[in-house]
Structure 1
């Protein structure tokens, strides 16, 4: 997700992992930057990107399609509502099946955070509302819980 590196430094990773397709959304000097890889170059159409997201249409046998949004949520608490509002604006424009993946920099429950300070209630509730509003399903995770 957040690569913190330029396109030229992502290309060797693409080749090493043997992906056909690569698209990067350039970050700014302080952070950001996304890279999206895929296997079959003819099944993905990039149609919108910015610092913290890449929207693509994935075609299945040139008949069916769905939208994939690769997303990196704004990490500052003061910008969390901006992330949710941005996703809400994308959701209102998507008529096809939609999958969002990435790092939302947000959580649904306090148990997803380690440390002394609890996640602000408004932040937990705001993200939970956004997940419900978009009709999303949290797939959970396996492995080390605090990556």
Structure 2
């Protein structure tokens, strides 16, 4: 997800949360920034990263191996097409099961927007086409408020679901239970996402 945080602050978070490894992609001015932390319970091989993605291979002690793609969609609508070409390119690099999540800065359907101007159809259609090409679907439902972003204005309130977790069918089959939690805004205009992976199948 978009961190909007300084490298040094994320280093303190890593220590406080007791993770052993991290990769930070620095923000530019006041936007962007990506980060991944991991513990010694998994092995993490970083495959590629940029301002808009982190691509890693995850291995666990039960010998399950899969890919994680953390995404940040360009805040400029006319530049967002680059994310929709990047996701299929990452998919074509491996046959392993994968999970893709983050701040896509885009909605899939009109119902994921409340207030403000309707989202242009071509933006939503390009997003859907990229996910369909990769056989990626939303994790089954989520817990918490419907919208993940808000302009937090008393007048002219706009809310959207621009943060999500999607995965291929084979990734879902690795686990007995999956859940996505939409957490609080805290000091941000976006809710944090928590992905629970419980009861790993043998």
- TM-score of the superposed pair, with normalisation by structure 2: 0.67
Could you tell me which residue of structure 2 aligns to residue 10 of structure 1?
Answer: 10
Q: Which has the higher helix share?
A: 1
Gaps of 5+ in 1: none
Q: Which residue of 1 aligns with 2:161?
A: none
How far apart, in 2, do the equivalents of 1:98 and 1:67 lie? 4
What are the equivalent positions in structure 2 for 1:85-104 lying under 5 Å apart? Answer: 85-104=85-104
What's 1:22 paired with? 22
User: Structure 1 pair 44/62, CA: closer, same or farther in 2 (3 Å)?
Assistant: farther
After superposing the two structures, state which structure 1 stretch, 22-31 or 46-55, moved more.
22-31
Structure 2 equivalent of residue 109 of structure 1 = 109
Alignment check: 8 A CA contact 1:57 1:66 kept: yes
Kindly tell me the number of residue pairs found equivalent between the two proteins: 147
Q: 1:54: Cα distance to partner?
A: 0.9
State the Cα RMSD in Å.
Answer: 1.8
89-98 or 61-70, larger mean C-alpha shift? 61-70
How far apart are the structure 2 equivalents of 1:38 and 1:6? Answer: 18
Partner of 2:120: 120
Runs of 4+ in structure 1 off by over 4 angstroms are none
Q: Residue 145 of structure 1: CA displacement?
A: 2.0
For structure 2, the 5+ residue unaligned runs are 149-202
- Corresponding residue for residue 51 of structure 2: 51
Q: Which residue of 2 aligns with 1:74?
A: 74
Contact 1:20 1:41 in 2 (8 A): no
- Is residue 68–residue 100 contact of structure 1 (8 Å, CA) maintained in 2? yes
- 1:16, distance to aligned residue in structure 2 (A): 2.0
For residue 45 of structure 1, report the CA deviation from its aligned partner.
1.3
Residues 22-66 of structure 1: CA deviation (Å, up to 9, x unaligned): 211123225211111122265111121111211111012374311
Higher strand proportion, which one?
A: 2
